[in-house]
Structure 1
């Protein structure tokens, strides 16, 4: 019980400076891009995808869009995390809940016209990429918190 109370007290005093936030934001961007490209390569190696979903620079399962979308997600999450650490009493918990909600909303992208008629294996791969992106981003950014003893 004492450990739980100490953790709760410590979490309410967390603070992330701008330099530290940028550093962890870049780490999240790199990590999520690498993880999602690895998931993509594993998926492509294991499953036969129709050419229109993998081929070319703009297919939903091409490296370019995967890296760009991963980077956009990491940048957006970093901005949200920065705001959350300023105003939330429990920033890591609050950010994790927000990230979970955004993960659920991200599955609405599966209704996009460029995915019309896609086989289930395409959706499964994209779903794994969304989940690994969320877990990676939350895992990296929530390590950025430090005690408030640092000056703002």
Structure 2
């Protein structure tokens, strides 16, 4: 038999709290993914067409934009989940896991055709890092609200 903690009993998160944690998730996931990118670039040699430039998949701009889009989308989904799910954190984590799996379909994008496996590996690490970071930050919104 499992028991629900107080955070799971919280049915919704206020708009201000949701926005605050959403912004925090956006900032943290962007920083974390830039760090992962720089570590990857320092460790492994990548073909020039995939690194840098305004639109290369392994450039800071696209990493920040895609991280921001993921965080904003996740924040909106989390807001809905906290309003309607009996166990919002658990439900959101399951949805985030499904979204993570679906995010790997972006590897089929035309701009990645012919990319070596190491490009996909660093992108996969960034996708997983983003999912874990966003879930970790957003689910704290209900935990903190239960304590307040």
User: TM-score interval w.r.t. the shorter chain?
Assistant: over 0.9
CA contact (8 A) 2:11 2:85 kept: no
Residue in structure 2 matched with residue 11 of structure 1 by the alignment? 8
| CA drift at 1:118 | 0.2
- TM-score, scaled relative to structure 1: 0.91
| CA drift at 1:10 | 5.0
2:54 to 37, 44, 57: 57
> Which whole-Å CA distance do the structure 1 matches of 2:4 and 2:103 have between them?
35
CA contact (8 A) 2:40 2:122 kept: yes
Structure 1 alignment gaps of length 5 or more:
none
- TM-score, scaled relative to structure 2: 0.93
| CA drift at 1:73 | 0.3
Query: Is the aligned partner of 1:91 residue 2:91?
Result: no
| CA drift at 1:15 | 2.6
Query: Is the aligned partner of 1:39 residue 2:36?
Result: yes
Runs of 4+ in 1 over 6 A off after TM superposition: none
Structure 2 alignment gaps of length 5 or more:
none
Query: 1:125-144 residue pairs with structure 2 within 5 A?
Result: 125-144=122-141
> Which whole-Å CA distance do the structure 2 matches of 1:126 and 1:107 have between them?
9
Aligned residues between the structures = 146
| CA drift at 1:12 | 2.5
Query: Is the aligned partner of 1:115 residue 2:112?
Result: yes
> Which whole-Å CA distance do the structure 1 matches of 2:106 and 2:69 have between them?
14
- Across the aligned residues of Structure 1 and Structure 2, the Cα RMSD in angstroms comes to 1.7
> Which whole-Å CA distance do the structure 1 matches of 2:123 and 2:7 have between them?
37
